[in-house]
Structure 1
Amino acid sequence: MAVYVYSVVLSSHPQRLDGLDGVGDPPAALRTVRSGILSAVVSDAPEELRPKRRDLGAHQAVQERLMADGTVLPMQFGFTAADDDAVREVLEGRSDELTERLRALEDCIEYHLKAAQDENALLRRILQDSDEARELNEAIRSGDSSPELPLALGELVSQEVQARQDRLAAGVLDALRGFAREERSSQATGNDFLNVSFLVARDREKSFLDEERGLAKELGEDFDLRLLGPLPAYSFV
């Protein structure tokens, strides 16, 4: 029977699963599959698994319980294997790799940061700082009907937005990366100019949070920094 895999831990981890339910309806019972120094926390996989609130909550609850007692390699929601033997085979075949990663994540947590700037404030700043953009904008507002003007202004603004957001992202990363062991950047979407995860040692967590709060204050009200965490280290498995 297919199994749902929640996490990989060292076999020496307490693996306290009492009072927790697995995914599925009715909830599946949690168990462990062991191979040498590694164990995987698993349950029977439901025939149909969708990211419903209850199942997402069950998945997260397992990670949080395990995190409270030691280092965890958390699997993303929905990870399954053919059966217990398939899980055991992965634990055995990738033992060195998984053990090394567990050591890298020891006493660490993840924080995920997204950052955006108010679009209107950004455009105002570009028009204030760029003589060329300001002249094009004033020509358009004065009634010049040349079709080249809006195109030129649009291209100039687009280039300025990208350049400024690249500098902002680099500045935020430079300010925070000194407090993290690792970072993983992802493509920013929408109005965001930054989408990054930080692996933070627990003894650096307060310093990291203080720096992020100071950075948000320094950037001001035109910026929206959204920090999520502490989280299981999903981005660093």
Structure 2
Amino acid sequence: MKDGLYVYGIIKEAGPQEFGEIGIGNNAHARVFALGHQGLAAIVSHSPWRVYESLSREEVIKDLAIHQLVTEKVMQRFTIAPVKFGTLLESEDEVRAFLTNDANLLAGLLDEIAGKIELDLVAWWELAKIIATLPGRNVEVREQQRKLALKGENVSLEDKILLGQCIERALKEEKEKCLQVITQTLGKVVLDTSLHDLANDEMIINAGFLLEKSKEELFHATVEALDQTLEGNINFRIVGPLPLYSFSTIVFHKIDVAEVEDARKELGISGELTEQAVRNAYRQRACLLAIREFLASQEEDVEKLFVTREHFIAAMKE
């Protein structure tokens, strides 16, 4: 199995840097170091080449934990823009080319995220406890339970289904209210929020919060205040500070030259392949497609052809 260079993140170059044997390796942890070039440096380790889609869940989780450990250790000394988990490049030259080609973008990103951190927050409730106290907070549930109590042994399956639906609606409303209180309150402290998927029905929020490092203590104090506001019915867990995984993760795409040439031919682009050339080609194709669709749905008389031609010319001048 050949080795590659596993990339954890990007920092501003500050001379040779070593971070110890803590990286993703074969049977042992690999040496993690900074590979610098033109003012930037990639945090890398020599690691076995692997396709993560083909690995077992246990192997992926183990490497993900190492990836996060490395980026968080680097974060203690530098501003780091994390690179997407599982990024492997073939050689040091390829890493340097990546740093060179995107130097302005990477430097600008590092300037933008300097002094900022991510804090991840998970909030959940204990469903049995919430349901037990729900009638005291929800009139509809309380009334439905009263009706069932009056029926005694004559309660039907339909009655129980109606109560269940009533409880479900009430829980949904309470969860939405709790989520709104949490996001609006923390929104006054943070710069941005990234909502993640919920793992189960008891979870109310699973999110990353972007904030100035100087406001970390305020964030914790605000969560404690939320706990009081929500009367201790919600459990909170804060993870961090973390690199900006949810906001500034770099994704490396290797471009196939043959695919680029095929795309150039398909779009009819000659000369230098620039962003503006691609935009113009797409616009022209869109206009031609609109004309074909119009002609397919209308009678092809001279007047309509003239109008279509004028629309086409006007669109190309925009």
Under a length normalisation based on structure 1, what TM-score does the superposition of the two structures give? 0.85
Answer 1 or 2: which has greater helix percent.
2
Provide the C-alpha distance between the structure 2 equivalents of 1:207 and 1:31, rounded to a whole number of angstroms: 34
Residue in structure 1 matching 2:189, options 176, 179, 182 = 179
Q: Secondary structure at the match of 2:30?
A: coil
Judging changes above 3 Å, is the alpha-carbon distance between structure 1 residues 138 and 5 closer, same or farther for their aligned structure 2 residues? Answer: same
Deviation at 1:77, TM superposition (A): 4.0
Where does residue 236 of structure 2 map in the other structure?
225
Where does residue 98 of structure 2 map in the other structure?
90
Deviation at 1:71, TM superposition (A): 0.7
Judging changes above 3 Å, is the alpha-carbon distance between structure 1 residues 104 and 162 closer, same or farther for their aligned structure 2 residues? Answer: farther
Provide the C-alpha distance between the structure 1 equivalents of 2:176 and 2:16, rounded to a whole number of angstroms: 43
Where does residue 19 of structure 1 map in the other structure?
20
Where does residue 33 of structure 2 map in the other structure?
31
Provide the C-alpha distance between the structure 2 equivalents of 1:95 and 1:172, rounded to a whole number of angstroms: 38
Kindly indicate whether structure 1 or structure 2 has the higher relative contact order, using CA contacts under 8 Å at least 6 residues apart.
1
* Contact 2:49–2:88, Cα closer than 8 Å, also in 1: no
* Contact 2:189–2:219, Cα closer than 8 Å, also in 1: yes
Provide the C-alpha distance between the structure 2 equivalents of 1:69 and 1:9, rounded to a whole number of angstroms: 10
Where does residue 199 of structure 1 map in the other structure?
210
* Contact 1:183–1:198, Cα closer than 8 Å, also in 2: yes
Q: State the AA in 2 paired with 1:101.
A: L
Deviation at 1:215, TM superposition (A): 1.7
Where does residue 101 of structure 1 map in the other structure?
109
Where does residue 157 of structure 2 map in the other structure?
147
Deviations 1:114-135 (A, max 9, x none): 1112213322343223333223
Deviation at 1:236, TM superposition (A): 1.7
Q: State the AA in 2 paired with 1:19.
A: G
Judging changes above 3 Å, is the alpha-carbon distance between structure 1 residues 200 and 157 closer, same or farther for their aligned structure 2 residues? Answer: same
Provide the C-alpha distance between the structure 1 equivalents of 2:113 and 2:86, rounded to a whole number of angstroms: 22
Judging changes above 3 Å, is the alpha-carbon distance between structure 1 residues 89 and 162 closer, same or farther for their aligned structure 2 residues? Answer: farther
Provide the C-alpha distance between the structure 2 equivalents of 1:134 and 1:18, rounded to a whole number of angstroms: 60
Q: Secondary structure at the match of 2:246?
A: helix
Judging changes above 3 Å, is the alpha-carbon distance between structure 1 residues 131 and 106 closer, same or farther for their aligned structure 2 residues? Answer: same
Deviations 1:175-226 (A, max 9, x none): 1122222221112222111111112212112222221222223323322011
Of structures 1 and 2, the larger Rg is shown by: 2
Q: State the AA in 1 paired with 2:5.
A: V
* Contact 2:9–2:83, Cα closer than 8 Å, also in 1: yes
Judging changes above 3 Å, is the alpha-carbon distance between structure 1 residues 33 and 124 closer, same or farther for their aligned structure 2 residues? Answer: same
Provide the C-alpha distance between the structure 2 equivalents of 1:93 and 1:187, rounded to a whole number of angstroms: 34
Deviation at 1:9, TM superposition (A): 0.9
Establish whether residue 134 from structure 1 lines up as the match of residue 142 from structure 2: yes
The more displaced of 151-160 and 135-144 is 135-144
Provide the C-alpha distance between the structure 2 equivalents of 1:28 and 1:209, rounded to a whole number of angstroms: 35
Q: Secondary structure at the match of 1:180?
A: coil
1:74-89 correspondence to structure 2 within 5 Å: 74-89=82-97
Which runs of 5 or more structure 2 residues have no equivalent in the other structure? Answer: 53-58, 249-318
Which runs of 5 or more structure 1 residues have no equivalent in the other structure? Answer: none
Establish whether residue 167 from structure 1 lines up as the match of residue 177 from structure 2: yes
Q: State the AA in 2 paired with 1:129.
A: R
Provide the C-alpha distance between the structure 1 equivalents of 2:36 and 2:12, rounded to a whole number of angstroms: 9
Deviations 1:15-73 (A, max 9, x none): 632534322123322333344332211112225672465x5564344323322222101
Q: State the AA in 1 paired with 2:131.
A: L
Deviations 1:98-127 (A, max 9, x none): 333222221122111011122133223432
